Structure 1
Amino acid sequence: MSTAIDERSLDTLFRTARTHNGWQDKPVPESLVRQVFDLAKMGPTSANCSPMRVVFVTTAAGKERLKPALSAGNLDKTMAAPVTAIIAQDTQFYEHLPKLFPHADAKSWFTGNDAMIQATMVRNSTLQGAYLMIAARALGLDCGPMSGFDLKKVDAEFFPDGRFQTNFLCNLGYGDPAKLFGRSPRFDFDDVCSFA
């Protein structure tokens, strides 16, 4: 665990990886989607709470269900993507803590504490969504995360009982480099970081 990964791997995960807006007409097999999740689930969450829930939208019928919730700018690229992951969060994630964190009564930390449930759920499902993207890149897929959609419409269509709530969407597949925008600037370390 103390050995840095090689330069090519760093490029794949971060330096040359891009947010894709266009997709090659190349399917993503279910077996690969499962591998992506099996890597992503290993990322750390507080008290191993693992609140992320995912619907992998892969069919034409599933895309039609998602379509009314998409903003105009995200419509075409989402319809063309082989997979759209609905990254959601379980509002009752703490019910699973006796299994996921068995060495303490972690469920009691959350029961009746709505503020703590909300903060923990959103923070950790977002982290897990990021792990999912890194796992996808590590396994040769490209990613296109999005916020431009109607959360309430997605929740009503895919999570009507209200237990799960959508966090964000992420298209997955094999990106079309011809449809990439130029890379946007990033901050330098000294612009946003300090030591204390």
Structure 2
Amino acid sequence: MTQEYHDQPLPAAALDQIFREARTYNGWLDKPVSDEQVHAIYELMKMGPTSANMQPARIVWAKSDEAKQALADRCSEKNAPKILAAPVTAIIGYDIDFHEELPWLFPHTDAKSWFEGDEEGRKQGAFRNSSLQGAYFIIAARALGLDTGPMSGFDNAAVDKHFFVDQPRVRSNFICSVGYGDPTSIFERSPRPEFDKFNRVI
């Protein structure tokens, strides 16, 4: 397998699409997101690195009218209409017992034993790494020509009880709408700091 793709940065247009020109959308055009696009997002995001390849993210894609309404009912008054208008909103959760999957996800060593008997450590690791996977989710969607609207502002316990009822060890992290953003729904871009503001090279 060639490693030549490491040699050059992505074209400026790709960097604009993923980062510099991409925005968080609050409204959506009436244009669907297909199941194929949903699968394509996951196929990209899963390739991002996680500790010991733990892959703790568990995602429910609220796409039907019923699922979107159920999610909206458990969200803040401000976020509910965004969810109802979006083609699909993903609930990005994390599995506290992710270590049960490590024998096949990280077969190089007995990684499962690292986490057994340490639920608090698993919670921290699962939350941190599912947050990473959530960031990969956003980048993947943008790379595929879609827009995103990540949100908190929902009742985590109520969402978990409804959407992860068959996975009682899964907890919701954040939610993210996906679709084709309505350009009238965004604000002026907020400031971004210069390098020296929050960075040191030592």
TM band (smaller chain): over 0.9
CA distance in structure 2 between the partners assigned to 1:172 and 1:23 by the alignment: 9
**Of residues 172, 190, 193 in structure 2, which corresponds to 1:166?**
172
Aligned pairs, how many? 196
- Other-structure match for 1:57: 62
**Is the counterpart of residue 188 in structure 1 residue 194 in structure 2?**
yes
Tell me the secondary structure at the aligned position of residue 69 of structure 1.
coil
The answer as to 2:93 corresponding to 1:99 is no
Given that 1:68 and 1:153 are in contact with CA atoms closer than 8 Å, whether structure 2 keeps it comes out as: no
| TM-score normalised by structure 2 residue count | 0.95
- Listed one character per residue, the Cα deviations across residues 39-74 of structure 1 (whole Å, up to 9, x for unaligned) are 000000010000001001100010121122110111
Q: What's the CA shift string for 1:21-45, capped at 9, x where partnerless?
A: 0100000000011011000000000
* Partner Cα separation in structure 1 for residue 162 and residue 60 of structure 2: 12
Match of 2:49 in 1: 44
2:132 to 113, 118, 127: 127
Specify the SS of the correspondent of 2:47: coil
Aligned to 1:90: 95
Q: CA deviation at 1:2?
A: 2.9
Structure 1: state its 5+ residue gaps.
none
Match of 2:69, as an amino acid? Answer: E
Which residue does the alignment assign to 1:7? Answer: 12
Distance in 1 between residues matched to 2:118 and 2:37, nearest whole Å: 38
Q: 5+ unaligned residues in a row in structure 2: which ranges?
A: 1-5
The match for 2:183 is 177
CA distance in 2, matches of 1:108, 1:130: 28
Task: State the identity %.
Answer: 51
> Which residue identity lines up with residue 179 of structure 2 in the other structure?
G
Q: In 2, distance between residues paired with 1:98 and 1:2?
A: 34
**d(CA) in 1 for partners of 2:81, 2:72:** 9
In the aligned structure 1, how far is the partner of 2:29 from the partner of 2:114? 46
User: Following TM superposition, where does structure 1 have runs of at least 4 consecutive aligned residues deviating by more than 2 angstroms?
Assistant: none
Contact 2:50 2:132 (C-alpha < 8 Å) held by counterparts: yes
Is the Cα–Cα contact under 8 Å of residues 27 and 173 in structure 1 kept in the other structure?
yes
Q: Partner letter of residue 104 of structure 2?
A: K
Moved more, 82-91 or 60-69: 60-69
Aligned-pair Cα RMSD in Å: 0.8
SS in 2 for 1:72: coil
Work out whether 1:31 is the aligned partner of 2:31.
no
Query: Which amino acid in structure 2 is aligned with residue 171 of structure 1?
Result: S
What TM-score, normalized to structure 1? Answer: 0.98
Deviation string 1:104-156 (CA, Å, 9 cap, x unpaired) is 10000000012221111011000001101100000010000001111111011
C-alpha separation in 2, matches of 1:142 and 1:64: 21
Give the letter for the 2:65 counterpart: A
- Distance in 2 of aligned mates of 1:113 and 1:163: 14
Q: For 2:72 and 2:142, locate their aligned partners in 1 and report how far apart those are by CA, in whole Å.
A: 25
**Inter-partner Cα distance in structure 1 for 2:196 and 2:120:** 34
